[in-house]
Amino acid sequence: MSLILGIETSCDETAAAVVEDGSIVRSNVVSSQISRHAVFGGVVPELAAREHLASIETVVDAALKEAETTIPSLDAIAVTNGPGLMPALLIGLNFAKSLAFSNSLPLIPVNHFIAHIYGSFLDGKTEMPGLKETYPLLALVVSGGHTALLLIMPDSSSEIVGTTLDDASGEAFDKGAKIMGLGYPGGPAIQKMSRGGNIAKFAFPRALTGSAGKALSPENRFNFSFSGLKTSLLKHCKKFGGEMKDAKFASDTAASYQEAICDVLFRKTLDAADYFSAATIVLCGGVACNSALREKFPKGVPGGIKLITAKPEYCTDNAAMIAACAWRCLETSERKYDIDAFSRIDKLERLPFVVNVR
C-alpha cells in the first residue's frame, strides 16, 4: 500500500488529499475562494495567493486527519507545479517543498492539465487503462483555463491534437454569464438559467466547425474558438435588452448559448475520435461538471468506443487527482526539491499513464 499526499493551488482552490495506490481516495479537502473573487467577476492572482497562504496549512491538516494518517506514514508528497497562476502555484509548491524536505519524503511535481485525466479514475472501481485495446485514448480536458484534445498511445506517448485559439470553454461560460449579469462562476450560473430553456431558440455560432458555410482549414479541424460566440452573445443581449428581462427569454438565451459550447466540444471530440480511431474517450475538467455536456456524450458516443467521465467532485480542481497522477511516478521519484513552477503548457511527450500493457 502506498499513500501520497497531494497539494493543489493552481488557481482559486486550496486543496489537499490523501490517495491510496493511485485510485482510492482516503481524503479530499477543498477550500474554495469563490466568494472572494466573485465581486471581481474572475480570479485575481494576488488575492488567490494570499488566500492560499492563509488556508493551506489548515487544509493539509484536515486532509491528513480525514485520511486517518500522519506525515511519517506517507510515501511521498505530490504538488501541482503548473500550469496555472504563478503567485498561486508558488504557495503550494513552496509549502510542499518544505514539508517534503523536512520529512525526507520524495516530492513529485504534477502537471495540473494531465492530472485532470487521472481524476476520471478516482472511484476505486474504474481501472486505470492498462490494456492495448484501451488505446488510442482521447481525452477532452475542459476547464476555465484549458480546452484541449489529448491523444494518448499505448507506449505512453501523447500529443495535443486540438486546443483553443482564444478563450477556453470555461472562460466562455464565465464571460457569457457576466454579459448576462448572472454572476460568477459562470458555468453553474448559465446551467441554472438554462433549465427549461429552448436550446434551439437562438442560432449562436459554432466556430471552426464549417457550419457557417466557410471552409475549415485542415490545421484547425480539431481546434476550438469561443471568442466569436462570446461576441455574438454580447450583441444579442444589446439587441434584446428589454426582452432579456423576461425569464423565458433569458432561459432560452442561456440554453442556446450553453448548447453552442457543448455542441462544439462534442462534435470536435467525436471527429477526432473517428480520425485517430480512438478506443476510449475521457471527459474531464471543470466544465465536465456541466449537466448538458454530461448528457450529450453518453447519448452520442458510438457503442464501439468506451466513454469514461470523471465524477463531478473530481472534475473541478482538487488534490486527489494530483496524488493519483503522482502515484505513477512513485517508483522513479527521487528526493529532489529544486522544482520550478510554470504557467503554461509547453509540450507533452510521455505520460506516467500506461501500466501492464499486454
Count of CB atoms within 10 A of residue 196's CB?
10
First to last CA, the chain: 24
Span(s) in the chain for CATH 3.30.420.40: 3-122+314-332, 132-310
Which CATH number, 3.40.50.720, 3.30.420.40, 3.30.413.10, 3.40.50.1100, labels domain 3-122+314-332? Answer: 3.30.420.40
Cα 279 to Cα 115, 212, 246, distances in angstroms = 20, 30, 45
Class of 132-310 in CATH: alpha beta
Q: What is the pLDDT of residues 158-198, one digit of tens each?
A: 899 999 999 999 999 999 999 999 988 999 999 999 999 99
Q: Which amino acid is at 311?
A: K
Q: What is the pLDDT of residues 310-349, one digit of tens each?
A: 999 999 999 999 999 999 888 776 678 889 999 988 666 5
Residue 247 to residue 311: CA distance in whole angstroms: 31
Give me the pLDDT at residue 347, please.
65
pTM: 0.91
Q: Which amino acid is at 114?
A: I
Low-confidence ranges of the chain (pLDDT < 70): 123-133, 212-213, 333-334, 346-358
Give me the pLDDT at residue 281, please.
96
